[in-house]
Amino acid sequence: MSLVETPASTGNNGSVMWTAVGLGVVGAAAMFGAFLLSGAAAQLTLVGALACLSALLGLIVWYPNAFVTVSQRGWNRPVANFAYAVPVVLLTAMSFNFHLVRWEGAGLAAAGMGCLAVAGMIWAPRPQPVTTPMSHILLALVFAAGLGWGGVTWLNCLFDDAPGQDFQVAVQEKHASFGRGSHYHLTLAPFGPVEQPVSVTVSYATYAGTSEGGFVCTVLRPGAFGFAWWRIGGC
């Protein structure tokens, strides 16, 4: 077990870096497309986004030194790598638009992907020794966990073609928050398998069209992987 060089292949860190940037940009654009589209188009676009991010994770594991820069004092340090982090952060953050009844399935996917990435960082042969092993392991772990969580959640919901069950749900509370943008929240009463009140972020139109003590419609679906989820709509 080693994080040092095994001469399995050669590669240019510069080309790896630009490949990673390209994969990140395409992956982020595809995610927005999947979110805006519907049906088979959304499904196909999502698969393309996840393929890009999986390839990017492979580059992080196989060529970790391409994600390192050298400071003027000669220290090797991990780059912030915003160009690479943004797509998986978007994938994870946007997955919360799909409201899973229970999050254990997504959590297991995140843990599994994280373990695979760490194993790859430890055991994979690579063309160059790793300069900052623990920093690279952390980068790969966080990236893989986000990919596992977001990927499973998106696939579970976008590939769910089963009919939904409609509920009329009481609005217990509503409030708005203003900071970097305006955010509108409703607290919904328990319904169906949702056993506790749940807070959900909604559009201004939905927020303005509801009142405390009123009702909103939700649709409960079983999920393509069996992870039940719901959204506001229906009725």
Q: Which pLDDT band holds residue 131 (cuts at 50, 70, 90)?
A: low
Q: Is 67 helix (H, G, I), strand (E, B) or coil?
A: helix
Q: Which pLDDT band holds residue 190 (cuts at 50, 70, 90)?
A: very high
pLDDT of 144 over the 80 cut: yes
**Nearest residue to 172 via CA among 203, 135, 213:** 213
Angle CA 34–35–36, to nearest 5 = 95
Q: Which pLDDT band holds residue 61 (cuts at 50, 70, 90)?
A: confident
For residue 165, what pLDDT is reported?
95
| β strands within 35-180, DSSP E | 68-70, 76-78, 99-100, 165-179
pLDDT of 77 over the 50 cut: no
Q: Could you report the per-residue pLDDT of 29-44, keeping only the tens digit for each?
A: 998 999 899 899 999 9
DSSP state of 189: P
For residue 132, what pLDDT is reported?
61
For residue 17, what pLDDT is reported?
78
pLDDT of 47 over the 60 cut: yes
pLDDT of 72 over the 60 cut: no
Helix (H) or strand (E) holding 183: strand 181-188
For residue 12, what pLDDT is reported?
61
For residue 93 the two structure tokens come to: 């953050």
Please, what are the domains in the chain?
A: 13-158 (no CATH), 165-232 (2.40.50)
89 conformational bin, left if phi > 0, alpha if psi -120 to 50, beta if neither: alpha
Q: Please provide residue 164's backbone torsions phi and psi, each rounded to the nearest 5 degrees.
A: -95, 165
Q: Is 178 helix (H, G, I), strand (E, B) or coil?
A: strand
